[in-house]
Amino acid sequence: MTTDTITAAAAGTWRLGDLTVNRIGFGAMRLTSNADGSPSDRDRATAVLRRAVELGVNHIDTAAFYFSPLRSANELINRALAPYPDDLVIVTKVGPGRDPSGEWLPMARPDQLRVQVEENLRQLGRDHLDVVNLRVYGPEPLAEHFGALAELRDAGLIRHLGVSAIRPHQLAEAQSVAPVVCVQNSYGLGYRAGNDQLLRDCAAQGIAFVPFFSLATSGREAGASGAEHDEVRAAAREHGVTPAQVRLAWTLHRGPNVLAIPGTGNPEHLVQNVAAGGLRLTADDLARLEAVHQSA
């Protein structure tokens, strides 16, 4: 597959409410700083975002709390992509917050969520947000927080609602308050296999399952320590791709409702991530990788 033929459309599509997105998207968290913690290069980050859209990415995941001392993910998105393409869906999340020094703040109270929503609107330069995920902390009831977001949806500030980092029982609780279009939890090959059932529950209800850290292995980024499972490496060799691409393809193979949002500030890795949406693993590949997933 040449660079000219790589497109996010190869992964297929899913609907977030009335919004159709390609199943391979882009996570903006890594745009603000480099792996060593130093600030990212503004022009490079801008170029990555524009290239993602050129490659057919129309689903970007972000948050106002994605920032470094010199960079804000939302403002980078605004600078790179506004005026926004008509089909671009920007998903953000609220609940957590950070002070200007980057220190994490306690979970926002329900009455503080409007301020967080308005901060995202201002930074992105929009009059409404396509999808807002409530990022929850622990198993406590979320109905009051989700209800506050439902009121902002009714007021026209938000189009659709989702939840993030939930326990399985919290999906039904959120659904009892307002429709949920996506669930965003940490999940990947050999990582958080306990979310397998939640993924299936979402599929049965027509809800998107959006894993973050989908390239993680035992809580670390795959390959970060030089470690990668032999079966993943073998599949990568057989298909002439990278282990990360195998992991992304496996993630998309988990169900038609699964959306991948790999993030990177590297233009080359961006192309590889999008190309993974067109990688078709064989039944034998999937059987071997399932054994890896269940044994982790």
Q: Which residues are catalytic?
A: 66
Cα separation, 248 vs 227, whole angstroms: 17
Tokens matching residue 155: 């007021």
| C-alpha distances out from residue 177 to 16, 111, 113, 136, 146, Å | 18, 17, 16, 15, 7
Q: Quote the CA–CA distance of 212 and 164 in Å, as a whole number.
A: 10
> Of 25, 5, 6, 8, whose CA–CA distance to 77 is shortest?
25
Please give the Cα distance from 75 to 89 (Å, whole number). Answer: 16
User: Residues 51, 26: contact at Cβ < 8 Å?
Assistant: no
Are residues 189 and 251 in contact, defined by beta-carbon separation less than 8 angstroms?
yes
Q: Are 181 and 59 in contact (CB under 8 A)?
A: no
CA distances (Å), 267 to each of 7, 33, 47, 264, 271, in order?
A: 14, 15, 8, 8, 7
Residue 158 in contact with residue 179, Cβ under 8 Å? no
Cα angle vertex 157, ends 24, 152, to 5°?
110
The two tokens of residue 238 are: 């057989």
